[in-house]
Amino acid sequence: MLTTEKNKTKILVFNALFIALVFVATMFINIRLPLMGNGGLIHLGNVPLFIAAFVFGKKTGAIAGAFGMALFDIVSGWTAWAPFTFVIVGLMGYLAGLIAEKVPGKKVFVYSLAVAAALIIKVVGYYFSEVLLFGNWVQPFGSVPGNIMQIVIAGLIVVPLASGFRQRVGQHQ
């Protein structure tokens, strides 16, 4: 597809919109879990992340996740996490979008597979990030339930809706 100035502008606008949506959903729709160690934060920032990845593709998913959630870390006192978040959540968005684009099959199954892949990236990525930050192999297990809940909840919200969003966006392009 030929990239025109109009297409570049649309891409820029969608990327900026989803960065903002991820940031706002992470910042203002969250619950801090009272668990050991870092505990965990349940937020809905993964909802717009998955919508971006499934509807607009792997690049928008990666950009929205990486910048939106890292920005949350920077402005909310979790600054040490920002570099880890940038990589982990960017990878989650990229892989979720890649799976949605490339894997054949019923969209509900494909989106569920993409959510499962993102779940693995999040749990493993943040586990090892905490090991590096805290120098402890046990304490990071306290964040695993919250990380799992975040992704499962986002998946339960997004998977049934994503096909409809894709169809609606496709009609307006």
Q: State which H helix or E strand residue 42 sits in.
A: strand 41-43
In a domain, 50, yes or no: yes
In a domain, 173, yes or no: no
Quote the CA–CA distance of 92 and 75 in Å, as a whole number. Answer: 21
In a domain, 1, yes or no: no
User: Bridge partners of 31?
Assistant: 42
Residues 6+ apart with CB under 8 A from 90: 62, 63, 65, 66
Quote the CA–CA distance of 89 and 91 in Å, as a whole number. Answer: 5
pLDDT in tens, 123-152: 999 999 999 999 999 989 988 988 999 999
The domain that holds 132 is classified in CATH as: 1.10.1760.20
In a domain, 5, yes or no: no
pLDDT in tens, 23-56: 999 999 888 766 555 556 789 999 999 999 999 9
In a domain, 70, yes or no: yes
In a domain, 66, yes or no: yes
pLDDT of residue 29: 87
In a domain, 49, yes or no: yes
pLDDT of residue 2: 57
In a domain, 144, yes or no: yes
Average pLDDT for 5-14: 91
pLDDT in tens, 78-127: 899 999 999 999 999 999 999 999 999 999 999 999 999 999 999 999 99
Q: How many domains does the chain have?
A: 1
pLDDT of residue 5: 84
Quote the CA–CA distance of 89 and 61 in Å, as a whole number. Answer: 9
pLDDT band for 172, please (50, 70, 90 cuts): very low
Quote the CA–CA distance of 34 and 41 in Å, as a whole number. Answer: 9
Show the domain range for 124: 11-29+36-166
pTM: 0.90
Cβ of 34: how many Cβ atoms within 10 Å?
A: 8
Quote the CA–CA distance of 104 and 124 in Å, as a whole number. Answer: 26
Spatial contact of 47 and 29, defined as CB atoms under 8 Å apart: no
| Closest by Cα among 83, 45, 82, 79 to 65 | 45
